[in-house]
Chains A and B, each alone.
Chain A
Amino acid sequence: MEKTWNNKAWFMVLPVLLLVAFSAVIPLMTVVNYSVQDTFGNNQFFWAGTEWFTEILQSERFHSALIRNLIFSFIILAIEIPLGIIIALNMPRKGLGVPVCLVLMALPLLIPWNVVGTIWQVFGRVDIGLLGHTLESLGINYNYVQNPLHAWFTVILMDVWHWTSLVVLLCYAGLVSIPDAFYQAAKIDGASRWAVFRYIQLPKMNRVLLIAVLLRFMDSFMIYTEPFVVTGGGPGNSTTFLSIDLVKIAIGQFDLGPAAAMSIVYFLIILLLSWVFYTVMTNYDAER
């Protein structure tokens, strides 16, 4: 076979390769390096083998943070996905309302994460926060600093406020791509609102929904900044999710080895779960 190769293409992708190397591969290798060694500073390293991994995998603390995080992600998905779909379905399709709605929806996404945390920290305070004050005056003894349930409620509410827009925007993009003829045909067939959703809108949205679920899962599973700002992981360890725990081990206790091993395990769990979501959803899609 005769084939001419054009090697110039490699020059084009070189900047990206370098960027990826510096931003991902090299830090990752450092982490791997730390995870199998023990260090006391001064650049002295001792081989530790799989010791840190065994320690992390058997640690009660890791298990509870993992379960906490899984529950959190599950609740987030269970609220944000249906809510996002409902909002997207009710957004206008044409006219002046479209840009207004889109801008309103995009607003929470534009706010820096630690600012979101700060907003909610203030918002939830009983003395000066609107939310806290309102709940208080309704007779609820609201206190996210001391009551774990209230802390969870606040963190979840904050995440829903912050991220449902993303689901809305993705679903909206899926919805507007459905040709008018489908709605007309459904009208002619006498389909109910539910049937239109079930047989036209949902099937046409399932690709963007897959992306929404994956993004929201990965993000919520890695959540750090907002709960750190609002609750700092407390009260007790009740809102200490994996990433907060990780930072505590690495920075707070300076246990670099276990922290590195934990990051790798953490990374693998995210990868595994994302893969599971992806295969389940695409297979379901193919079957239908």
Chain B
Amino acid sequence: MLELRNVSKVVGGKTHLDNISLELQHATLNVLLGPTLSGKTSLMRIMAGLDVPTSGSIWFDGKNVTGVPVQKRSVAMVYQQFINYPAFTVYENIASPMRVAGADKATIDREVRKAAELLKLTPYLDRTPLSLSGGQQQRTALARAIVKNAKLVLLDEPLANLDYKLREELRQELPKIFAEAGTIFVYATTEPHEALLLGGNTATLSEGRITQFGPTIDVFRKPDDLITAQTFADPPLNTIALAKIGKAFQLEGGVAMPVPSNLGDITDGTYTVGFQPHHVGTSRRNADEIALRAIVTATEITGSESFVHLSFADARWTMLTHGIHIYTPDEVIDIFIDPHNLMIFDANGNSVTRRQKLAA
């Protein structure tokens, strides 16, 4: 188990990591999700032992490893750039960590061929990395990380420089590889979609803080706070600030939407209401649904789905619907939202919906 206790990192007066506590179990895949500069790479460097935290400690299987340098830890890393030894063949590249560790020839050969098979590199073992495609180069780097048999494998946006379709394929294979290896995998990404496809656990990062950590789908469906919900939404989360007065959420100038029945007892005040773009529909699916009138600003069609960009009062929203719906800009349309899909956040950004569910 890798454990971070109150880890902070301050560089030149700037806080890169702010009081991070995290426990990662063996044989798990853990996604660090957050935008650029949210602290993903800083956190990974500290996990690897490349950096020493300004304060706090790191424990591995009950031992304090805070100041232990990377060479003395059992760590493998894969980066966004394809990093291989250009003069070595793919075989030698994959074999290199085991050669350093002094494994015997037979073991090396067996492990290299196993990893190559797993990552579909068998036909390329005699080639040099630079003669391969980007996807194959990154597979080589991944294979090297796997044969190292490290207790901790860190992947820093490993698919970011690959084509969309290649990403899709590798993403599907990675969880299988992870499941077989039994080590702690940490995977950094900026894309919510990628986190969902990988599954496992997700920690959402924002400005150097971990806002939530838990099973990926739970964090996505039941975010603790507004920042987590916003970080973990693609397309962006639809939000609007509303005043709760009695039984209704109101906007200046009129009623916006009724307070869902399960949340009737929250105190009056200002709340931020959020909902996912795929929870907005153009037709009423059940009697409880809230109907709103919004103005279309643009429509994007993917062939099977439509992304309709809307403006509602001051808010900019996105609606993701199945099928092809073409609207002209400035058209006024009725949209429907199931109140059960609303996420309500209080003035501090904490989820009221979640608190209710926890209490129940």
Contact = CB atoms under 8 A, between A and B. Distances in A.
A4 B67 contact: yes
B68 interface: yes
B66 A3 contact: yes
B25 interface: no
A3 B65 CA distance: 9
B66 A6 contact: no
A202 to B, nearest CB: 29
A140 interface: no
Interface in B51-94: 52, 55-57, 64, 66-69
A5 interface: yes
B55 A1 contact: yes
Contact of A4 (B55, B56, B68): B68
A2 B7 CA distance: 11
Nearest to A1: B55
Nearest to B72: A6
A6 B69 contact: yes
A158 B55 CA distance: 58
A6 B67 CA distance: 8
Interface in A108-151: none
Contacts of B52: 3
B161 to A, nearest CB: 16
A2 B64 contact: yes
A4 to B, nearest CB: 3
Interface in A1-26: 1-6
Contacts of B69: 6
A4 B55 CA distance: 12
Contacts of A5: 67
Interface string A200-233: 0000000000000000000000000000000000
Interface of B: 52, 55-57, 64, 66-69
Given A2-B64, A3-B52, A4-B66, 12 more contacts: A1-B55, A1-B56, A2-B57, A2-B66, A3-B66, A3-B67, A4-B64, A4-B67, A4-B68, A5-B67, A6-B67, A6-B69
5 contacts: A1-B56, A2-B57, A4-B66, A4-B67, A6-B67
The 6 A-B residue pairs with the shortest CB-CB distance in the complex, in nearest-first order: A4-B67, A2-B57, A1-B55, A3-B67, A2-B66, A4-B66
